[in-house]
Homo-oligomer: A and B are copies of this chain.
């Protein structure tokens, strides 16, 4: 039934038109929100028609989910790499905390869609996204707990709350960060990671 439809598969060879459609949709969703963006607008901006869009994607919602899974995959991979590295906990946390800030800023459109439009997904897809998000959260929490057990981090705050505290600031980036501002992504990331580490000092 799916024909050439591009479900939500791995990475590899997506067709140029499909890629352009997804990129255009991402931009428009970020600018105007999911509900305020019509399928017609997307195909017009991408220079094709509805026939093309529905040839590659099953529904408007599928476009949204594609954005999510791309972001989640990317960030999970990066977190795993930093967490598994061979370095002191303190440094691994700092690098992971800073990295998620940089990649979030570099994909600010995806991020703002992610945090603003998740509730537009159908219950099943929403559940799936939440599960992936939890996996990410747990991985980060484990890292904090490791530091707390080994005594380099304070145990004054439950690790769960610490993670939510930091990801709050990441979440918030799309609200206030502007590329034309005075701070580079890396500078912002270093500051935010520093705040986290300072808060965790015993």
Contact = CB atoms under 8 A, between A and B. Distances in A.
Chain A contact residues: over half helix, strand or loop, or mixed? helix
B161 A167 contact: no
A177 to B, nearest CB: 8
Interface stretch (A15-23, A87-95, A142-150, A152-160): A152-160
Interface residues of A, number: 36
Number of copies: 2
A70 interface: no
Contacts of A116: 116, 119
Given A199-B196, A199-B199, A33 B164 contact: no
Given A36-B120, A168-B172, A176-B164, A154 B192 contact: no
Interface string A175-202: 1100000010000100110111011110
Interface in A116-134: 116, 119-120
A1 to B, nearest CB: 27
Given A171-B175, A198-B201, 8 more contacts: A32-B119, A116-B116, A154-B198, A157-B194, A161-B188, A168-B168, A168-B169, A198-B199
